[in-house]
Amino acid sequence: MVTGRKQLSLVKESDLQLMAVTQYNKFLTENKVLSSGNNKDAAMVDRVGARIANSITKYYASHGKGLVLEGYKWEFNTVDSKEVNAWCMPGGKVVVYTGLLPITQNETALAIVMGHEIAHSIAKHGNERMSQAMVQQMGGMALEVALAQKPKETQDLFLLSYGIGSQVGAMLPWSRQQESEADKFGLIFAAMAGYNPQEAISFWQRMSTASVENPPEFLSTHPSDETRIRKLKQYMPEALKYYTPRN
């Protein structure tokens, strides 16, 4: 519905959303969550998240595509961690790590990253990866059977599928096609929320510089290359059509 291409989907999105609620809450109890009441970074993450969520909800509803966001119950959290990372679980469960913020440097670049992560979720890229993993590693077992018989392995596959890893070696890169889709829709989502999509170019340049000295976790899941910036420039005119600056 979003990507316009055929996607492998053996797992129901609603089942993944249920699983996400459990995994999200587990993650939050195991990590140091910052409160948006007294932390300005967490408040910024909340603000950006709410703006993107509201804009795309309005957009899809007004275009008769409300089903794209079926079951979404948005949550935005910021965790205190040196890791350069951010992700969105099914159903709109988002986490931003503070280690990302020295590279985003400003609210607009944060919107670019959050738009990108939300786009992975809405384009059901995690579902594609989870479906592939269920075939390859669980012999095509149904999700609820796998969860009952091999809970630990199934949870690990889920976390891997959504770019949430605790070990660098265990991270699974998004495919080039998924990355391009997330870049394109991420730009549009940020633009709809009133953030200038052109910031994406500087952001990915900063990310690329940061990765020369110390490759961030984020880039082990999101492959970075020169063609990314070239493609972002190609998507820019379309994204700019959705952009109205905030005052």
Binding segment toward Zn ion, per CB under 5 A, in 83-91, 93-101, 176-184, 226-234:
176-184
Place of tokens 């249920």: 18
Q: Which two tokens stand for residue 184?
A: 């394109």
Binding flag, residue 174, Zn ion (CB under 5 A): yes
By CB under 5 A, the residues from 215 to 234 that bind Zn ion are 222
What's the rounded Cα separation, in Å, for the pair 36 and 45?
A: 8
Binding segment toward Zn ion, per CB under 5 A, in 19-27, 135-143, 180-188, 204-212:
180-188
What's the rounded Cα separation, in Å, for the pair 165 and 182?
A: 19
Smallest distance, Å, CB 247 to Zn ion?
Answer: 31
70 is catalytic: no
Which of 79, 182, 191, 192 is in the footprint of Zn ion by CB under 5 A?
A: 182
What's the rounded Cα separation, in Å, for the pair 179 and 241?
A: 21
Q: Which two tokens stand for residue 183?
A: 């870049």
Given the residues 75, 117, 128, 181, the one annotated as active site = 117
Distance spanning both ends of the chain, measured CA to CA = 33
Smallest distance, Å, CB 181 to Zn ion?
Answer: 9
Binding segment toward Zn ion, per CB under 5 A, in 153-161, 172-180, 193-201, 205-213:
172-180
Contacts of 145 (CB under 8 A, 6+ apart): none
E strand or H helix that includes residue 213:
helix 199-213
Smallest distance, Å, CB 103 to Zn ion?
Answer: 15
> Among all residues, which ones are annotated catalytic?
117
Binding site for Zn ion (CB under 5 A): 174, 182, 222
